[in-house]
Amino acid sequence: MNTALDNVLNKASFDKSDLVYLLSLEGEDEQQLFEKAYEIKAKYIGKKTYFRGLIEFSNICSKNCYYCGIRRSTKSVDRYELSDEEVMGAVKFAMNHNWGSIVIQAGERSNKAFTDRITQLLKKIKNTYAENPPGITLSLGEQSEEVFQEWFDAGAHRYLLRIESSTKSLYEKIHPVDAVHSFDYRLENLKRLQKLNYQTGTGVMVGMPFQTLEHLADDLIFMRDFDIDMCGMGPYIEHSETPLYEHRHQLMPTEARFRLTLRMIAILRIMMKDINIASATALQAIHPQGREMALKAGANVIMPNLTPVKYHENYHLYKNKPTVNEETDIYIQDLIKNIHAAGDSVGHGEWGDPKHYFARQSKNSI
Ligand code: 5AD
Ligand code: SF4
């Protein structure tokens, strides 16, 4: 065991230089970091993985983020929106398998027809499962306070909105610099969600062009200072039809991005012991068992994709996105087997809310 590392790992709080050091660990030292994170997960939230059935509701998007394969300017994707029946079918699958929660994700749109449709779907889900409703997470981008409130009242109680990078200058390199892609507005939206009492999740992409370990250290500090309840972080994976693709030569190899993401997860688990950390699908794009490996590094949420398979080819945010049919019993049995092999059990029949949210609420009410 590396005792210098052990001393850092046992500090009450990490400073930026500790974080950069931890982010650069390799080999046995990296393993020691993962073990520490897993130990903390076991102690504070238990060796349990929660499933959220992921429904990629629509790939229509009004934004043009430089990294994303379904950005507005991508011409080669057929744009779709799921029917009510398709959404309810996916929810049913999740409920039949006794997963406590679902996630509804889509490209960003703020027109009233869209926001109303989401409200109606939320009500339909809550009414259909009035006895035992699923926990509902939304991941639908930036919205007005009224819309966030309307969706909350209709039954959503968690929201994921990645900051992508907490460094404004880096954010502005990976997005067009205009009013609809404003860093300050993104931040304001996150604050809105927290104020409206959503369980608030954010996250970043790891291994992007122009990104340094210092940026990532700042991202971790941002998440701690913002007091997030949930986090989803995944490796950046280049997509040939996006503007950022021209900077692919400066990227580290995908395997290195994968491991760096696992280190981000492990460090965050040590810093924020009782939040929920999702094991992102992008991990699985690099390594078939990537998501299960993240559980060993401190993640505790997996979001199996319940979008009907015929739409998968049109929801490629990045290349090599897994297009397996996760909506099959064999797939799920296999996933559960891998989770057990990683040492976790599955939190069936529970919402699996982040403990941190309740601790934060009671702290704020004192
Ligand atoms: N690589 C990895 N993640 C991506 N996302 C979008 N494009 C990519 C990409 N090329 C992530 C963003 C977004 C989430 C829905 O998907 O972080 O917030
Ligand atoms: Fe749209 Fe989200 Fe992709 Fe940006 S990352 S282009 S908001 S789907």
Long-range CB contacts (< 8 A, 24+ apart) of 214-219? 214/16, 214/20, 215/165, 215/166, 215/167, 215/170, 216/19, 216/23, 216/260, 216/264, 217/16, 217/19, 217/20, 217/23, 218/16, 218/166, 218/167, 219/163, 219/165, 219/166, 219/167, 219/264
Query: For the residues 126-143, what does the mean pLDDT come to?
Result: 97
- Give residue ranges with CB within 6 A of ligand 1: 67-68, 162, 164, 205, 234, 236-237, 239, 282, 317-318
Ligand 2 in contact with 296 (CB < 6 A)?
no
DSSP 8-state symbol, 250 = G
pLDDT surpasses 90 at 319? no
Residue carrying the six token digits 């929920």: 276
Q: What are phi and psi of 353, to 5 degrees?
A: -65, 150
Nearest-angstrom CA–CA distance, 218 and 223:
9
Is 228 close to ligand 2, i.e. is its CB under 6 Å away?
no
Decide whether any atom of ligand 2 lies within 6 Å of the 175 Cβ.
no
The average pLDDT across 149-153 equals: 98
Evaluate if residue 256 carries a pLDDT over 80.
yes
For 65-97, give the DSSP string.
Answer: -TT-TTSTT--SSPP-B--HHHHHHHHHHHHHT
> How far from chain centre, in Å, is Cα 298?
14
64-101: b (≥16 Cβ within 10 Å) or e:
bbbbbbbbeebeebeebbbeeebbbebbebbbebebbb
pLDDT for 355 beyond 70: yes
Whether the pLDDT of residue 44 is over 70: the answer is yes
Q: Atom 16 in ligand 1: which residue has the minimum CA distance?
A: 317
Q: Where are the alpha helices (DSSP H) in the chain?
A: 3-9, 16-23, 27-44, 84-96, 112-128, 145-153, 168-174, 183-195, 213-226, 254-271, 281-286, 290-296, 329-341, 355-364
The band of 360, judged by pLDDT with boundaries at 50, 70 and 90, is: confident
Calculate how far, in angstroms, residue 2's C-alpha sits from the geometric centre of ligand 1. Answer: 35
Alpha carbons 67 and 237: distance in angstroms, whole number: 8
Among 265, 262, 254, 266, residue whose Cα is nearest residue 207: 254
User: What is the average pLDDT across 156-172?
Assistant: 98
- Quick one: pLDDT band at residue 219, thresholds 50, 70, 90? very high
Q: Is the pTM of this model over 0.85?
A: yes
- pLDDT exceeds cutoff 70 at 136: yes
Q: What is the pLDDT of residue 366?
A: 59
330 or 226, which is more confident = 226
pLDDT in tens, 97-126: 999 999 999 999 999 999 999 999 999 999
141 lines ligand 2 (CB under 6 A): yes
Q: Are β-strands 301-302 and 48-58 bridged in parallel, bridged antiparallel, or unpaired?
A: parallel
pLDDT at res. 210: 98
Confidence class of residue 322 from pLDDT cuts 50, 70 and 90?
confident
From the list 237, 267, 202, the residue with the least C-alpha distance to 21 is: 267
| Interval 203-210 mean pLDDT | 98
Task: Select from 60, 67, 71 the residue to mutate for testing ligand 2; criterion: most ligand atoms less than 8 Å from CB.
Answer: 71
Is 80 exceeded by the pLDDT of residue 365? no
Q: Which comes out higher in pLDDT, residue 215 or 328?
A: 215
Mean pLDDT, residues 64-93? 97
Indicate which ligand has the atom closest to the C-alpha of 162: 1
pLDDT beyond 90 at 30: yes
Instruction: Please report the atom of ligand 2 found closest to the CA of residue 62.
Output: 1
Distances (CA, A) of 82 to 90, 114, 326: 10, 12, 17
Q: Is the pLDDT assigned to residue 167 strictly greater than 90?
A: yes
In the predicted model, what is the mean pLDDT of residues 188-204? 98
Q: Is the dihedral of CA 332, 338, 340, 346 positive or negative?
A: negative
Structure tokens at 139: 């991941």
pLDDT at site 225: 98
Mutate to test the pocket of ligand 2, among 68, 80, 161, 241 (most ligand atoms within 8 A of CB): 68
Q: What is the percentage of the chain residues whose pLDDT exceeds 70? A: 99
Q: What percent of the chain has pLDDT over 90?
A: 89
Average pLDDT, the chain: 95
Q: How far is the CA of 37 from the centre of ligand 2 (A)?
A: 31
**Domains of the chain, residue spans:** 17-364
Mean pLDDT of 334-348: 94
Instruction: Scan for tokens 């580290």, then name that residue.
Output: 252
Predicted confidence at residue 321, as pLDDT, reads 79
> Does 361 have pLDDT greater than 90?
no
Q: Is the pLDDT of residue 329 over 90?
A: no
User: Which of 52-56, 200-204, 260-264, 282-286 shows the lowest per-residue confidence on average (mean pLDDT)?
Assistant: 282-286
Rounded mean pLDDT of 277-290?
A: 92
Q: For domain 17-364, which CATH number applies: 2.40.50.100, 1.10.10.10, 3.60.10.10, 3.20.20.70? A: 3.20.20.70
pLDDT (average), residues 51-55: 96
